[in-house]
Structure 1
Amino acid sequence: MDAVGVFEFHSFQRHAAGRVAYIHISGKEENAVKRTFQKGAALTLAALWFPVAFFALAETPKEALDRLKEEQERIEEQIEQAGQRQEDAATLKTLYQQKANSILAQLDALNGQISQQRDEVEKANEALAQAQRRVEDGREAFEKRLVAMYETRYQSSLAVLLGVGDISQMMRFAENLTRISVANKARVDGYAQAKQEIETQAAAQQAVLDEMQQASAQLEQTRQEYAAAIQQADTALSQAQADQQSYEAAYEDKVHEVEQATKEYLAWIAQDDNPGGQPPLDGSWLWPLPGYQPGSGYGWRTLNGKPDFHRGVDIPAPAMTPIRAAVGGVVSVQRHSSYGNCVKVSVGGGMVVIYAHMTCWASDLSNGMTVEAGHILGYVGTTGNSFGNHLHFEVDINGQPVQPLNYVSPA
């Protein structure tokens, strides 16, 4: 089986000549390169028994077309990837924006609570200040009373006795002093206890405020992180959009190149190197691989899961089986990315016959020489885009493929 235009395959001769041509190596291309060296080794051994001819050839129209189509497919993948990147960036931006909006709402609500809590803290601090003043005022009054009581206690006993009517009055005076002292101390202690309670309440209010402010700081940090993420998503989105525009422009250029390469390839296929010749009408065609039957036929088929038009018939046969010209004509030797080592025989009247995937060409073959039916053109192989040893046998008239079995039958 063979397939057209799946990967770019560089010729063995170019490698043998020391020219490096491995650019943009994909997985398919890497496998093709491995197959090239494996087949090259087999070809070297085979050359010990079979005389072969190799030609140093430039890129053929078919190779150029296959290469451009592959580049076009890569650009299509890049456009698709850029579109996916745009979609991903837009999705992330929307997600981050939603989260950022949620954070902003939380910040607004928390800042409102913080404002209320500040009011509560200010009230608690004011109450604490008032309590502090009451304690200080009470302590000052208590100290003044103590001084007055101290001065009174140490007045002369005679002055005390002279100032009272009887002994009971003096005793009541002393008792009243004691009561005043106890009452004053209790009042001051009460102020101090009230102050301590207010301090505890104020500390609790401050702790709540500190916790809120810490939560606000964390939310603000998260908001800034989302803002940075949104900026990154914007940058990625802009870059993806720019890349897609660039890829689309490159794709348009590649479309024109493919169109031009297609014209050149079709012109090469349609080129009749034997304008004076005429296809034989007496049924004198020969089967190119006597004793071997065709496998994959001419026409539409499915290849690698995709519809594919097979331009000829495939004839499986062992490697190095001689391939004979089905009809005489002028030889043109080419090396294709998909057809591998290939011989085109121009029959005349716009008809050409193509023999593809050869291991090698016959030693006496050269461009422009005329061969007769039955002449050995080369040997079966699996060069190019091929799966197993076989001959791809194709007939074209004015560049259009036709059913080869209309001209020759297996023998």
Structure 2
Amino acid sequence: MISSSSFVIDQLKILLVGDSATGKYCYVKRLTHNVFSNDTRKNEEYDIISTKIKLDEHTEIPIQIINISGSQCGKTKIKTYINNIDGYIIMFDVTRAETYDNIMMWKKFINSVKQTNNLPCLLLANKCDLEEDQGLNSVMASMDNYCQAIGFCGYYKISNIDNINIEESIRTLINEITQHRNSVTTSSPSISISQTRTLSVEERKKEYTLKILVIGERGTGKTAMIQRYVNNSFSGIYRSTIGTDIALKKIQYNDHITVNLHIWDISGEERFGGMTHLFYKNAAGCLIVFDVSKPLTLISGAVKWKVDFDNKLNIDDHNPVPCLLIGNKCDLVKEGVVANEAQMTEFCHNHKFNHLYETSAKENINIGESILFLVEEIMKNIDTMKGVRRRLSEIIEIKEQASPKIQKSNCCHS
């Protein structure tokens, strides 16, 4: 908690964004006057409101809230306000799935203006007093993991009308901003203070955060694969994934590069739910899993998942997202086309998979090898990939770059 006796803090500038009619204006009214307003007016561009937030009996923090109209995302006019902020809030409406769909659009816009993805930011799911959009049911179940993966410092379900988590949310953001300021102030201004020379870019430590999708029909062993890779464990008890789960794994790629893997385990039912485009966003790589003992999970399963993946993410033929075909449960007897190596190689080539691996979560066969190969494919073009979070020497941010046109890689390897 912030202590008033430790330092005097100047006014914090907090940006409030989100689609139109998500409740931003009512949120501000709750904060400033502790009332609920039925006013549904829309900002033309922005409102600026100053107030003080009481953290405890002795501490009040002055803040300025810049409430941006939902129509202003990407507009040049508001970039001046974004440049000066200390943190921001993105709000969506739990009764309208399309407002969730635009979270990353707002986040990317702010990061591009600030030229950093390290700014304290909070995600608010408003109107929790109402019934959620059915399209968001699976998303809401794993929201904490989603926020951690995307880079939000916190997440709250709020209700302006019932005054749920209004003050709690803003206090959380204020504390995050203060901690961020302290870390910037106390951190070393140079990465080479204890050294006699400045390190070159090539010598500095790099850290990347990669989003990896694991998709395929239900019952193919996706969750078991992830558990084997992350925890080196296997459970013979089948548990159907609801919506999506996210597992985290940090690997030391080489002496200079650390990779944080955010592995998204997507339910086999999601291809029929129309929400996959939300899960696919910013993916750096993909594993499409089938069961070698059940050819239909390949022929009518993996094929359809690959089409869905290509249609919603791999829209640029010159810079495709690496995708591996995984034949899981290779400890069982192969059936049909799966048993024919030549046909499988041709299948992999025709559907533009980077590689085919046969794996077994039960026997721990090729689990680590397949994911390492995928990471290696990603790292070939890491500095031109979109949606990849990068850090250099812990304190230096590398901006996203536009993807140049490159030759398409070969599909399969024997």
TM-score by length of structure 2 reads: 0.18
TM-score by length of structure 1 reads: 0.19
- Larger RCO: 1 or 2 (CA < 8 Å, sep 6+): 1
Structure with the greater alpha carbon radius of gyration: 1
- Which structure is higher in strand share? 2
